Amino acid sequence: MKIICLSKLRCKINIQPDFFGNILLSFSALLSALIFVSSLTKKHSKFGNSLVLANFATLIICCGYLLLQFLEDNFSFIYVFENSSTLLPTFYKISAFWSAHEGSFLLMVLFLSGSMFINNTFFWGQDWMPISNATLAFILFFYLIFQIFTSNPFLTFDVLPNNGTDLNPLLQDPLLVIHPPVLFAGYVFYAVTFSLVIAGMFIGFGKKLFQSLKLWAGVSWFTLTFAILLGSIWAYYELGWGGYWFWDPVENVVLLPWLAGTAFTHSLIFSKNKILLSWMVFLGISTFLLTILASFVVRSGILNSVHSFASDPSRGVFLLSLFGIFAFASLVLFFSKSVFLQSDWPKLLSKQYLLVLNNVVLLAILLIVFLGTLYPIVTEVFYGQKLSIGPNYFSSLITPLVLILITLFSVEQFPILLKSNRRSFFLGVLSVALVIIIIDFLKISAISVGLYFVALVLSILLLKALVELATKKQINIAHKVMGHLSVVLLTFAVIANHQFSESLDVRLKPGEEVEFSNTVIKLDSVDIEGEMNFDTVVANFSIHSGKTQRNLKSEKRVYKIGGVITSETGIVSTIRKDYHIVLGDRFQDGSWSIRYSINYGIMLIWISSILLLLSMLYGTIRRHGY
Amino acid sequence: MKNLLRIFNIFIFFTLPIYAENLYENLNPQQLKRLDYLAENIRCPKCSYGNINSSNAPISKDLKQEIASLIKEGYSNDEIFKFMEERYGNYVILKTDINENKTLFLIPLIVLLISILLVTTYTIKRSK
Amino acid sequence: MVTRYFLVLILALLVMMLSIFSLSLVQTDEPQTIKTQEGKKLIISEQIYDLDGNPIPLKSLTKGKVLLNVWASWCITCLVEHPFLKSITESKNVKLIGINYKDQNFNATSYLQKNGDPYEFSIFDLSGDISLKLGVTGAPETFLVIDGEIISHRIGEVNLEVWNEKFAPYF
């Protein structure tokens, strides 16, 4: 347990566990163990079902109890003391609950038992339910043990401090309030998906199991994607660096289960005919294991990064062992059951074959992210020196793979290309190679080639969809068409953003203006304002481009507790480009340093991601009629 | 009327002396681009993550200013990377060099090629 | 057959990964991230001044054993290590010179008045230029300079433990 030693208190404080909170946690662990035993012995008993409900209820009370301490400013709770203060608005007092390691893990535990409850309510009586329940109870039990012994939020001082040390100002943002819960929900839903896969290995994959598996896989995929989008939007608006993805270790680590999950969801499509069954099972297992790995990397603090929780070796050891146990258990199970997973393998140049290639490319991207993120740990262990893997490693390797991915799924939409014989296929490969050589010969920059290529694919796909809509009055498998279109659009926007965005560092006095890239920006005035928990300097800018004038505000805040300074970026968005101003320092002569950027395609990135999310959602729920 | 306004606007822009000075003086647009590129690829030594363009730490601003003066003195990009590496170590260089990390770049590509080959030969075998 | 190869491969990778992670967890000494300036010459090319504005001859830094400590009144960790620096100068024969980093002159002098002044004098470095050339990334940092050569360099707080490891052998 990490304790901030205030010089006056001199750490002579005794720390005691809070009785009520710990009783609730222990009771919940006991219930989980009971669920595990009862689902394996008395299958389908009403008793097991009520145990799941009781467990969920216990954890709700437990979380409610901790939340109450935040609302009442009970700083005798160490966790409350470290993450809240009397000056904090009520909204953030609630979100402070999951702002640090202990609380956020408790939230994850709550979600796990919650999704177990949902799983039971929806699919009660199905033959796979006992094993699914046992698996989830097993996971939940270990999570609770971890919670109680290494990350207990219910520890108290025997003195009552006057005020807390406040919530990290970077986290005082509405987006970051909802981002962690959504992310943990995504992780936890993949645990449910995993439990279904495990059940399938024992009793075989029936039609009913596939239906529920598709639903859970879709929900998990949607949730995790949504979480990543939220984090990205937060990074863009709050961090104020003008970027939306930084290849920061903690971001990358979330990308790992997402990539595996993407491959997993796609491999499920054809699983009805038992094609690629073992492949699908393997991906399902890996996705869940990667969510634990992500928790391990973030919560053990072995990688330093903007978002890292305070590190504690015992946590890392526990989570790593947990990862090891789950990995070995499920892999041994996988290989011992592989006889039962006998599956058909697709024919060459069939849709399914393209899907396998698609999955292989996705896994290659996963490998790149994995290596780039964890390689610094390897050098640290063997050479004692940390090394930085820069964004260029990821972007230069991943961009071509994404283009291949796009090509693969676009070709798949034109079955005629696949029906042709092998000779024309190799002719196609040859012509692609020729085009590459010509491009190389003419020295056209790779990025603009990529941009043209993506634009071409985008228009072809769009045209195809429109023609189909006009002739058939509907689009076959609309969510698939729209989902893939939005991925192409997203890629286009990302490349455009990378290629065209520009920025300027400049010094301005109030009333002055400067011209940059066909726009004129003027610093109109600088005001000082006070808020409840921070003081702020507000700079008002106007941006003139052509005849239009846009106003925007950029702020610099000084938080009253701890004196942390943050910048609130001023952003005006249009569909094509964003105007983006960060306020810097004040100079002696009254001028301010500002960084002015024009970022292209940001809106398109958000729009295409939202379209993608909608397609995922529709694709998931359409067959189930909920 | 509108045209008149535009002419008026243009007139104003031309006559008003632009007082604002560039933060990094005497650099031409080409050099400013280089400065941005370098600042984008050098890590802030005081921060846990982030390059010196994106961080608010005092050292980042100083370093950017120093890079600007190095550019003015005629240093090339590689020489500036070398300079920074010399002073703060490998850790601050965010640009991962292909030549120094060949294996890191090659492993994923090799794995990708091998697995595509394996999958394809397996598919051909199974379909026979 | 294929599955067996696959199993062996996956398990081998898994074991490798787990052992690397475990090694990194049990690693006790901090990994080196930012390079220290040890072994380099102390380079100060411009004229330097103390807090009262008196010019300082460079020789007072490059002659003999000098402990250089980068500090600022806005720096919280500096306040934490301040008592230790005082105890060192009181108990041992240490020539401690401060570098006042990016600070207002008034704030710096009142900081020293309030908390005591263990420094022989402090170099006034408002712009941070002198420190930048020294390879300082922020405050606090401490250098041991012997005859113009940087022997030890600590990035961050100096306490008894750090002192015994990095500086004590030279005093």
Tokens of A143: 């999570």
Q: What is the mean pLDDT of residues A481-500?
A: 94
Task: Pick the residue from chain B with its C-alpha nearest to C130.
Answer: B62
Chain A positions touching B120 (Cβ under 8 A) are: 348
* Least CB–CB distance from A391: residue in B2, B21, B94: B94
Look at the block and give the residue holding tokens 């609770």. Answer: A144
In angstroms, what separates the C-alpha of A315 from chain C's closest C-alpha?
10
pLDDT for the residue B50:
79
pTM for the model stands at 0.90
Query: Is C75 within a domain?
Result: yes
* Least CB–CB distance from A381: residue in C10, C24, C32: C24
B93 shares contact with chain C (CB less than 8 Å): no
Query: Is A19 within a domain?
Result: yes
Chain B positions touching A263 (Cβ under 8 A) are: none
Of A419, A451, A485, which closes a domain? A419
Q: Within this chain, do residues A93 and A48 fall inside the same structural domain, yes or no? A: yes
The answer, yes or no, to whether residue A6 has pLDDT greater than 50, is no
Read off φ and ψ for residue C71, nearest 5 degrees: -145, 170
Query: Is C26 within a domain?
Result: no
Of A107, A142, A170, which closes a domain? A170
pLDDT for the residue A206:
87
Contact criterion met (CB below 8 Å) for A565 and A548? no
Q: Within this chain, do residues A140 and A224 fall inside the same structural domain, yes or no? A: no
pLDDT for the residue B1:
44
Q: Within this chain, do residues A74 and A201 fall inside the same structural domain, yes or no? A: no
Contacts of A264 (CB under 8 A, 6+ apart): A193, A217, A221, A280, A283, A284, A286, A287
Q: Is A585 left (phi over 0), alpha (psi -120 to 50) or beta?
A: beta
Q: Within this chain, do residues A119 and A183 fall inside the same structural domain, yes or no? A: no
B90 shares contact with chain A (CB less than 8 Å): yes
In angstroms, what separates the C-alpha of B37 from chain A's closest C-alpha?
11
pLDDT by residue (tens digit) across A260-303? 999 999 999 877 777 788 889 999 999 999 999 999 988 887 77
Number of domains in chain A: 3
Q: Within this chain, do residues A178 and A166 fall inside the same structural domain, yes or no? A: no
Q: Is A514–B61 a contact, with Cβ atoms under 8 angstroms apart?
A: no
Q: Is C20–A324 a contact, with Cβ atoms under 8 angstroms apart?
A: no
* Least CB–CB distance from B59: residue in C2, C33, C137: C137
Query: Is A613 within a domain?
Result: no
* Containing structural domain, residue A9: 1-170
Separation of alpha carbons C89 and C81, rounded Å: 13
Chain B positions touching C138 (Cβ under 8 A) are: 46, 57-59
Chain C 96-115, residues with CB within 8 Å of chain B CB atoms: 102
ipTM over 0.90? The verdict is no
Q: Is C132–B59 a contact, with Cβ atoms under 8 angstroms apart?
A: yes
Of A151, A170, A189, which closes a domain? A170
The answer, yes or no, to whether residue C129 has pLDDT greater than 50, is yes
Structural Rg of chain C based on CA atoms: 22
Q: Is C25–A317 a contact, with Cβ atoms under 8 angstroms apart?
A: yes
pLDDT for the residue A312:
62
Query: Is A477 within a domain?
Result: no
* Least CB–CB distance from A513: residue in B2, B18, B89: B18
Contacts of C144 (CB under 8 A, 6+ apart): C65, C66, C67, C68, C150, C151, C152, C153, C166, C167, C170
Query: Is C73 within a domain?
Result: yes
Q: Is C26–A313 a contact, with Cβ atoms under 8 angstroms apart?
A: yes
Chain A 194-253, residues with CB within 8 Å of chain C CB atoms: none
pLDDT for the residue A377:
87
Q: Is A384–C29 a contact, with Cβ atoms under 8 angstroms apart?
A: yes
Those chains having 3 or more beta-carbon pairs within 8 angstroms of chain A are B, C
Query: Is C138 within a domain?
Result: yes
C135 shares contact with chain B (CB less than 8 Å): yes
Q: Choose the most confident range, by mean pLDDT, from A434-443, A563-572, C64-73.
A: C64-73
Q: Within this chain, do residues A194 and A305 fall inside the same structural domain, yes or no? A: yes
Chain A positions touching C83 (Cβ under 8 A) are: none
Chain B 35-64, residues with CB within 8 Å of chain A CB atoms: 36, 41, 43, 48-50, 53-54, 56, 61, 64
pLDDT by residue (tens digit) across B34-69? 998 999 899 888 876 778 887 777 888 889 989 999
pLDDT for the residue C32:
66
- Tell me the pLDDT of chain A averaged across its residues: 88
Q: Within this chain, do residues A293 and A399 fall inside the same structural domain, yes or no? A: yes
Chain B 5-44, residues with CB within 8 Å of chain C CB atoms: none
* Least CB–CB distance from C32: residue in A331, A335, A384: A384
Q: Within this chain, do residues A151 and A8 fall inside the same structural domain, yes or no? A: yes
In angstroms, what separates the C-alpha of C136 from chain A's closest C-alpha?
19
Q: Which of A573, A613, A610, A561 is nearest to A92 (CA)?
A: A561
Chain A positions touching B109 (Cβ under 8 A) are: 364, 397
Q: Report how far apart, in Å, the C-alpha atoms of A461 and of each of A356, A372, A379, C9 are.
A: 21, 33, 45, 40
Query: Is A144 within a domain?
Result: yes
Chain B positions touching C129 (Cβ under 8 A) are: 62
* Containing structural domain, residue C116: 48-170
For residue A495, the Cα-to-chain-centroid distance in whole angstroms is 21
Q: Could you tell me the CATH number of the domain that includes residue C131?
A: 3.40.30.10
Tally the residues of chain B.
128
Q: Within this chain, do residues A273 and A406 fall inside the same structural domain, yes or no? A: yes
Separation of alpha carbons A221 and A212, rounded Å: 14
Query: Is A441 within a domain?
Result: no
Number of domains in chain C: 1
Q: Within this chain, do residues A148 and A179 fall inside the same structural domain, yes or no? A: no
Chain B 98-127, residues with CB within 8 Å of chain A CB atoms: 101, 104-105, 107-109, 111-112, 115-116, 119-120, 122-124, 126-127
The answer, yes or no, to whether residue A116 has pLDDT greater than 50, is yes
pLDDT for the residue C30:
64
Q: Is C34–B88 a contact, with Cβ atoms under 8 angstroms apart?
A: yes
Task: Pick the residue from chain C with its C-alpha nearest to B118.
Answer: C2
pLDDT by residue (tens digit) across A408-428? 999 888 877 777 666 777 777
> Which burial class, exposed, middle or buried, applies to B70 when counting CB atoms under 10 A from its CB (0-12, 13-18, 19+)?
middle
What is the DSSP track for C17-30?
HHHHHHHHHH--SP
Banded model confidence at residue B14, pLDDT cuts 50, 70, 90: very low
Please name every residue paired with A553 in a beta bridge, in sequence order, or none if there are none. Answer: A540
Q: Within this chain, do residues A179 and A148 fall inside the same structural domain, yes or no? A: no
Least confident of A191-205, B9-23, B38-52, B86-100: B9-23
Separation of alpha carbons B63 and C137, rounded Å: 10
Q: Within this chain, do residues A22 and A144 fall inside the same structural domain, yes or no? A: yes
Side chain identity at residue A312, one-letter code: D
Query: Is C63 within a domain?
Result: yes
Most A CBs within 10 A among C2, C3, C20, C21, hence the mutation to make, goes to: C21
Query: Quick one: how many helices (H) and strands (E) in chain C?
Result: 6, 7
